[in-house]
Amino acid sequence: MTRRLLPRLRRFAFVALLALLPAGVARAQQGGVPVTTDPVQVGPVPVEILANGIVASESVVTIRTRVDGQIERVHVTEGQMVRRGQPLFTLDSRLNQAILAQQEAQLASNRAQEARTQADARRYQSLRGESFASQQRFEQAQADALAAAATARATEALIQQTRLSIEYATIFAEMDGRLGAIPLRAGNFVRQAENTAITTLTQVDPVLVQFAIPERWLPEVQAAMLRDPPRVAVRPEGDTAPPAEGRLVFVDSAVDTTTGTILLKARFDNAGFRLWPGQYVQVKIAPRVEPDAITVAGPAVQTGQNGRFVFVLAPDNTARRREVVLVRVAGERAVVTGELQPGEKVIVDGAQRVTEGTRAMERNAGPQRVSSVR
């Protein structure tokens, strides 16, 4: 008997399940499609220009010798930070010092000769007045005195040149900066005529970032420079720290006709050496702030056959389509124009599952992370 009743019980259970399914579907349809929303915001939004840039030093000095000599001592190491006036290299200057001693002795002889000829000139001048010396002998004495004075001055110039050569034997840093590679070590002989670089000195604080933007932004940038140089934010590739901030300091005098861009430069304090010359960075410049911009969450903006649109969750929990124009993307929000009111709920997640008039059920669970519109 149990075997005969078992198939009947299974058929009854199946029929009961079929009867319950429409009721469940009806209840789901009555609640609507689950969606998340984000309110329309109206307020100030910076007009941001994005670009790629490269870090550049304001000054790079190639250090070369100005005299011939053997490197006697290297006072620094490769990559070291140095201060202006700090000694870097010392060349052997003993030969110039010997030449200096010889020239100083020669100067003493020249000054003695000058003193003697001047005394002779004064003596012949007095004798000429008493008719004991001829005019010709007096003029010769004057010429000898002038020649001796000129010889002394020439020796003084040679001494000054030799002292300068001795001073050049010690090479000092011309500015604060970081040293590059040092291919030559103590014992190498360097010559001025060979023009060989001993090392380089690169200024790293402050630094410049140079980048190019489309020429259509030039009027915005020029207007901002007249008001107050706009701030520029940069971030190295892969850097998760807050962006470094600087000021725009240079707008090129001409647009590059091959690319349709204009070159700009911004200066950044770089005490922590976060920015490195030659490094590629992401650049963001905000020449002005739009006071009453309409913004929505980036993923809420969709693209259809007739352009961009969003779905708004109406008070009666139905989705309503609104046509918008995407002006630009500002961070994680999209700046748009259209018939949107502040505070209206724009559907973000679930917008692809609704159409005009579809019932929707809001299921926001705290703030949602929004990504940029592409």
Fold of domain 63-89+172-201? OB fold (Dihydrolipoamide Acetyltransferase, E2P) (2.40.50)
Q: Of 1-5, 162-166, 177-181, 247-251, give the lowest mean pLDDT range.
A: 1-5
Q: How confident is the model at residue 136 (pLDDT cuts 50, 70, 90)?
A: low
CB atoms within 10 A of CB 15: 9
Mean pLDDT of the chain: 85
Phi, psi of 248, deg, nearest 5 = -70, 130
Reported as a single tens digit per residue, the pLDDT across 353-368 is 888 889 988 886 444 4
Fold of domain 49-58+203-287? Elongation Factor Tu (Ef-tu); domain 3 (2.40.30)
Reported as a single tens digit per residue, the pLDDT across 76-129 is 999 999 999 999 999 999 999 999 999 999 999 989 988 888 887 777 677 665
pLDDT of the residue at 370: 39
Break the chain into its structural domains and give their ranges. Answer: 49-58+203-287, 63-89+172-201, 93-168
Domain 93-168 coded CATH 1.20.120 = no
Reported as a single tens digit per residue, the pLDDT across 49-83 is 999 999 999 999 999 999 999 999 999 999 999 99
| Close Cβ partners of 203 (under 8 Å, ≥ 6 residues apart) | 57, 58, 59, 60, 175, 176, 177
pLDDT of the residue at 100: 94
Put simply, whether the predicted model's pTM sits higher than 0.75 gets the answer no
93-168 has the same fold as 49-58+203-287? no
- Can the peptide bond before residue 206 be classed as cis, meaning omega within 30 degrees of 0? yes
